[in-house]
Amino acid sequence: MELQLIQNKIYEIRGQKVMLDFDLAEMYGIETRVLKQAVRRNMKRFEGEDFMFELTKDELLTSQIVILNKGRGTHFKYMPFAFTELGVAMLSSVLNSNTAIEINRNIMRAFVAVRQLLLNPPKQSCDLQELQFDLQELRCYIEEVFTDYNDINEDTRMQLELINESLAELQANKRTNTNRIKIKGFNQYD
């Protein structure tokens, strides 16, 4: 079974990474009730919440797990068992089929991969760092452009005010010039 598919079935419940009985039964190719029977017959192997615990109805309803479908047999008569990494390892001693052994190996690898990912998160790639640097440069450039744009707007506003004042003065001069009496033969610009 593909490692990524297994990792997608690992949930965090009560602060622990766990897999649920119905997911495990599906992977092992058995019915959930068969898995639960095998566990109940060997409860001493699973004592303590560090191996396995039964979910409460609230945990089931408020968790990230989407499990109930419409139709018959979709509501739980018994709450699911949640198996920690130790509990899954212990299942290999309860379920002795070749399929169960192979699936358990893959599940153990998935738990290790999840733990490694949590302990050593992937470092940012150079591409991401370059992208962040380019984004920062772009922000600075845009800020400069807007600052220049605002300066230009201020200069343009001042120039428009000066033009408006000059036009107002010209209009005022024109009004005073039209009130003068024109004398024949006298040209002002000679």
DSSP character at residue 45: G
Q: Are residues 100 and 139 in the same domain?
A: no
- pTM comes to 0.55
The candidate with the shortest Cα–Cα distance to 16, out of 82, 112, 60, 88, is 82
- The tens digit of pLDDT for each residue in 118-158 reads 787 766 556 677 777 777 787 777 777 767 666 666 777 77
Range of the domain at 33: 3-119
pLDDT score at 36: 93
Is residue 26 a contact partner of residue 83, using CB atoms and an 8 Å limit?
Answer: no
Counting the structural domains of the chain, the total is 2
Q: Are residues 111 and 167 in the same domain?
A: no
Q: Can you tell me the distance from the alpha carbon of 116 to that of 3, in angstroms, rounded to the nearest whole number?
A: 14
Is residue 67 a contact partner of residue 22, using CB atoms and an 8 Å limit?
Answer: yes
Q: Are residues 9 and 98 in the same domain?
A: yes
